A = this chain, B = another copy of it.
Amino acid sequence: MNIDEIVKEANKAKIKLMGLDTEIKNKALEAVAKNIESNKEKIYEANKKDLEQAQNLVESGKITKATFGRLKLDENKMRDMIQGIYDVIKLEDPVNKTIFTRELDEGLILKKITTPIGVLGIIFEARPDVISQISSLAIKSGNAVILKGGSEANNTNAAIFEIITEALKSTEGFPNGAVNLVYSHDDIKEMLSQDGKIDLIIPRGSNKLVKFIQENTKIPVLGHASGICHIFIDESADFDMAKKICIDAKIQYPTACNAVETILVHKDFKYYDKLKEALINADIKVIENPEKYDHEYSDTILSMKKIDGLNEAIEHINTYGSHHTDSIITNDDKNAETFMNNVDSAGVFKNASTRFSDGFRYGFGAEVGISTNKTHARGPVGLDGLCIYKYKLEGRGQIVDDYVKGRKTLKHKDII
């Protein structure tokens, strides 16, 4: 099938998925988990083929060692992949939840009900474990999905996709065409042009990939191109707390999007030099006059800057940040409040590491991604972010003219 046909099938499937029972969705997920479990060897074999080709690409410098690492499926990743599906089964079904029920008039009841979004387009790189993770989230939330993986992982992706498809086909009542995989690079361009037919694009990969997608589609994109997070050390900050949080925010996982890139220090904070020394002793490279502040190091490097105080911190962060996650270390509650209200980021923290910005740590049970968007979903996104809502109105023959002409009056009484 070409991409137009796949999009058409996905749009047919989405209608059937919309009203699907939780039980069928969970059965489908269980079938997928079990089928992966019993076909592990097939997946490793396919992965081996990809790894052989990738080895050549590493040697010729076409892909990095890090990409090679992400591509490689080992026992741990396989176990996590399968466990991830069982975790999604346990999550509450986000669909068909009543947001409110309102009696507009006698016998005229309005309900706002959560529904799936429709068709998701997922574009990801190297990591083949993304397929099962995203497919599970799509299935649980009743969305059809079109996946495009990195070509380095084509064999592994195809093997996992086949195993998923087989499991879904064997599940009674589960519609065809819900999960789809496309292969060629041209398919990305095709996918990005399907506005109105693909409802949401979720990129999983490098900043470059995300930026490219954001700039080349009119479909809403859920994600973040970069994670330029800040810590502001206020005058009143406790030295030990500041040191501990700064080191955690960088060293705990230096390439994470919620790792800190710039530490802003109040000019009257007494321990600037001592803090700098502590960071260096923790194997962090500290840059005091960087060429640019709107930069994600993705490494054990950070910028450090002495500033006038709270207002400059807020302005710096709003100007150079990526509106992802920013933290203030302070003993001044009023300053903390001003910081948290005026920093325009998805996460605004007080006396906590930026690394807490994560769907699992927030207790969402699953993470679709972290969004720096200003509409739909912001910050770490759970299953809810794959849903929207519709309005159901049940009447007994009511017409608007009666209310416009004043023969009847709307009551608007909320029912709990």
Contact = CB atoms under 8 A, between A and B. Distances in A.
A352 interface: yes
B378 A18 contact: no
A94 interface: no
A117 B400 contact: no
A85 to B, nearest CB: 21
Interface in A216-261: 217-218, 220, 238, 240-241, 244-245, 247-249, 252
Interface string A207-221: 000000011011010
Contact of A218 (B18, B108, B218, B361): B218
B363 A102 contact: yes
A352 B393 contact: yes
Q: Give the interface size bracket for A toward B.
A: 35 or more
A108 B363 CA distance: 13
B363 A104 contact: yes
Q: Looking at chain A's contact residues, is the secondary structure mostly helix, strand, loop, or mixed? A: mixed
A392 B348 contact: yes
Interface stretch (A23-31, A48-56, A290-298, A339-347): A339-347
Task: Point out which of A15, A102, A346, A399 has the most chain B C-beta atoms below 10 A from its C-beta.
Answer: A399
B215 A108 contact: no
A388 B399 contact: no
Nearest to A214: B218
A351 B397 contact: yes
A353 interface: yes
Closest 10 CB pairs of A and B: A352-B395, A248-B399, A363-B412, A19-B341, A355-B400, A241-B397, A199-B374, A376-B376, A375-B376, A349-B393
Interface of A: 14-15, 18-19, 102, 104, 108, 110, 117-118, 199-200, 214-215, 217-218, 220, 238, 240-241, 244-245, 247-249, 252, 314, 318, 336, 338, 340-342, 344-353, 355-357, 361-363, 373-380, 388-401, 403-404, 410, 412
